[in-house]
Structure 1
Amino acid sequence: MARYHIETYGCTSNRGESRQIESALRDAGHYPVDGPEAADVAIMNTCTVVEKTERNMLRRAKELESETADLIITGCMALAQGEEFREEGVDAQILHWDDVPTAVTNGECPNPGPGTEPVLDGVVGILPIARGCLSNCSYCITKFATGRVDSPPVEENVEKARALVHAGAKELRITGQDTGVYGWDTGDRKLPELLDRICTEIDGDFRVRLGMANPGGIHGIREELVEVFARHDELYNFIHLPVQSGSDTVLEDMRRQHRVEKFLEIVETFDSTLEYWTLSTDFIVGFPTETEEDHAQSMALFREVRPEKVNVTRFSKRPGTDAAEMKGLGGTVKKERSKAMSELKREVVAEAYESMIGETRRVMAVREGTGDSMKCRDEAYRQIIVRDADERGIEPGDFLDVEVTSHQTVYAFGEPV
């Protein structure tokens, strides 16, 4: 788990985004510290209202870079003028608000805290279906806290899901350190059954998003799983498969339980069954044993599968892990590789959202956004922003049809029709 320090500048909307970031970080087992010097990562949520503010943001970013191990810059200036930080030589990851929590995890399994009790956050119901992990990744510290997988019965999780829906949840987020191995501790692969029963046995108009599932666990159930997706409109056509590297050599050093071929076979199975779906994946760049050729293989895999949502993380050492004992790559190497992959990410993700322009999508309003906007999700969990939500009477939990009119790299804008 990482120690984090967050600084927020600007308006009430920015403060709200920071609260959401902190909530996600705490859910993942990270904790705040006093000051950037004591932090593994500092997060700067920026403002860009006037030129003086921009100068202050650049000055503070340089200070934070020298005071902390890793710096993430998000917020309005990062998204609108991210190149200014790069031109000033600030060594930082420039990320959208939504991508910050995953970047902090360093590719580790999520750790939603003690127990597996569900949580209702607005219209979003968070349902941890199991605790623990079957993997033994060389870079991950989460396994020390969570232990081996422990799966409650399917019936118990269905009842928790039903309680969330009855309490007002419109979006159920199925979470766990690795959802793909749910049930393995009892000798059965139960994830397809659980998703099928949630969709068929619970009354109400709601959507279900499956959380992170490692390729090693999903591969053996990929055909059964995608059939469940195809049968149920309640399931977002979205799957988060963290590949972490396009090099089998690096995957072996990471002690990942899959190789590139298995990852590709899962993607091909979903491609052949679902006409419209979103692939989300993670890459760790700058792992200690990653060569230039290994990095090139990761870039090639990225171009081949063209994921619509990507988390690019620079490797950083976690105390007590085997990877922490490896001789690391220099910061400049990690920075250059991260920059190259992040640029490719912007190109690929922007292409995906641009291709949606002119299409009509059925979306669900999930959360209030910046100003008077509403963050919505379509059937493939792609984010579509609807402006003037109050004026239009749109509230979280509402379903509506929108025409996609434009995009801004990692999300689209839509007009109700």
Structure 2
Amino acid sequence: MMRLRYFPMFRAVRCQMAINFYLETFGCSLNSADSDIIVGTLARINGNRVESIDAADIIIMNTCGVKEPTEDRIISKLEQLSSGKTPVIVAGCLPKISFARIETALPDYAAIIGPQSIQSLSEVVPRVLKGEVGIVHLDSIGESKLAWFEGPPNSVICTIPICEGCLGNCTYCAVKFARGAVKSYSKRDIFDTVERCVHSGYKEIRITSQDLGTYGVDIDSNLVEMTTMIDKIDGEHRFRLGMFNPNLV
């Protein structure tokens, strides 16, 4: 089977008929936020999230590879899905950490997408539904993912990422392989996303990343500046900060 490598040039192609997709998320709060970005991305092409694999036109697994037990659980799931007929897209951190294990578990994968290129799903999904397979896109698209963010339905809580990556090079940790160096979203993008969520009725805004304490090191800013700015947003809501090294704040 021919494998196709996908490059970072894409445009959203809205489908006339609804695309029923099943999305399963593994891992940390940043991965959960990425799943909200996936939902927002597919909403632009008439995507409809379903709760059952049996009802899906396409399956998306947003994976984690930081802990071995989680990785093993994902691989087992992919092995089960490999016997089905519904196309499977593997996204998230695991493609950057254990690509070979994914290929072995799911040799007929529809696409493998890295965590910095999930916005490309707006073009990849229609291609997959036309029968294309073996699409690989691991490189960063280089644009903010926040423009595609859509908060979860039927909830008053949403989780918004402000940066990804880390400053460390710990030999025991795979985060650096998956997310790379720190990449902070602009304060304007964060402000606009938080304001949009507050005005949509969310009461608890959870701010997340691999390490919140590193926010701004690459854009001449910091966590204090960013939180001071979003604290000016009107409305009844509260912020919760998580996942950071206090010594970096």
- Given the two structures, how large is their TM-score scaled by the length of structure 1? 0.31
Higher relative contact order (CA 8 A, sep 6+): 2
Bigger fraction of residues in helix: 1
Normalised TM-score (structure 2): 0.48
Higher CA-based Rg: 1
